[in-house]
Structure 1
């Protein structure tokens, strides 16, 4: 039976490795997690792109258009969740944390300059994300030439990690909570 601290530490390290790969490689299953925010009435989930991961600062970074509804939700209710799923490995990771917004700065200018033109187009619309339009092509009828000011980064400071490994031999599940300047892990019933 799995029970040792060494095994918990092993799996926590594997989670961080997967998050790092997910932020770096577009074909990694953790590259497209579901981010859940709260709108004051109910949870709201959407698929996002994981762009940054730092075990040292226990943070994840997601690019966003700062005009989007999720940014306003995060400003009002900064507690968020992220769900990652690796179907091939049968691993689900749920992350809870506190989100903050990094707005245009020198570091964001560098990121902006590295974005592909087709990615920049998403930030160059005159209309804010979620604005109703008559036809889908209307969203891109008017574009603004330099829209770096619309690019922001959602930083999620992780406070809890929940890991689930599905297996025909019995599922495994562990949780880690940030406490006393480190993640404290425990095995839990799947």
Structure 2
């Protein structure tokens, strides 16, 4: 069932989108929980599934990662990246062009590390960095004895452009927006 309808005004769409993103965080099995992040490695796009963790009051998006990961290396070289959300039940696709900020060993990471519990903390404390060659699968699961936040990072994504596509049998709706001083400015475009 579509959530963006033909009777919605253009200026209503950003608030509908951000409301749906908040649902993605609060509802465990919501399709917006797992999304695609695209970074650039030299000139090659690199996409991967990630877990969308939080939407800030400023509507910045937060994701967690190991500071030794390829995505961190990519973002240190080029802070621009894209994040794609898709809800197959609603036929809603949202793409953000963003500028990233990497947080490590600061107040923000300490705040959220407290909520990383159980085996989740092991994702950020493996002996070998992500993407390291290993001799067997067990080596990839070896963790440091001290489960600390040394490698825990948060990537904060500040949206600068947003593309929204609502698929519907009654007619697709598509709009592009750019971040403006007091919100979003945009236009409907041909789907």
Q: TM-score, normalised by structure 1?
A: 0.92
Query: 2:38: which partner in 1?
Result: 36
Could you tell me which runs of 5 or more consecutive residues in structure 2 were left unpaired when the two chains were aligned: none
The C-alpha deviation readout for 1:16-73, integer Å capped at 9, x for no partner, is: 011112223331111111000000121000011111113x423100011111011010
Could you tell me which runs of 5 or more consecutive residues in structure 1 were left unpaired when the two chains were aligned: none
- For residues 146-165 of structure 1, the aligned pairs below 5 Å read 146-165=147-166
Contact (CA 8 Å) 1:94, 1:163: kept in 2 or not? yes
State the alpha-carbon separation in 2 of the partners of residues 110 and 78 from structure 1: 23
1:188 matches 2:189: yes
Match of 1:47 among 43, 46, 49: 49
1:65 matches 2:70: no
Query: 1:7: which partner in 2?
Result: 9
State the Cα distance separating 1:116 from its structure 2 match: 2.1
State the alpha-carbon separation in 2 of the partners of residues 126 and 151 from structure 1: 13
Query: 1:110: which partner in 2?
Result: 111
SS in 2 for 1:48: strand
State the alpha-carbon separation in 1 of the partners of residues 159 and 142 from structure 2: 39
Over the residues paired in the alignment, what is the CA RMSD in angstroms? 1.7
SS in 2 for 1:88: coil
State the alpha-carbon separation in 2 of the partners of residues 43 and 87 from structure 1: 24
State the Cα distance separating 1:119 from its structure 2 match: 0.4
Q: TM-score, normalised by structure 2?
A: 0.91
State the alpha-carbon separation in 2 of the partners of residues 94 and 149 from structure 1: 31
State the alpha-carbon separation in 1 of the partners of residues 168 and 105 from structure 2: 44
Contact (CA 8 Å) 2:10, 2:186: kept in 1 or not? yes
State the Cα distance separating 1:142 from its structure 2 match: 4.5
Query: 1:143: which partner in 2?
Result: 144
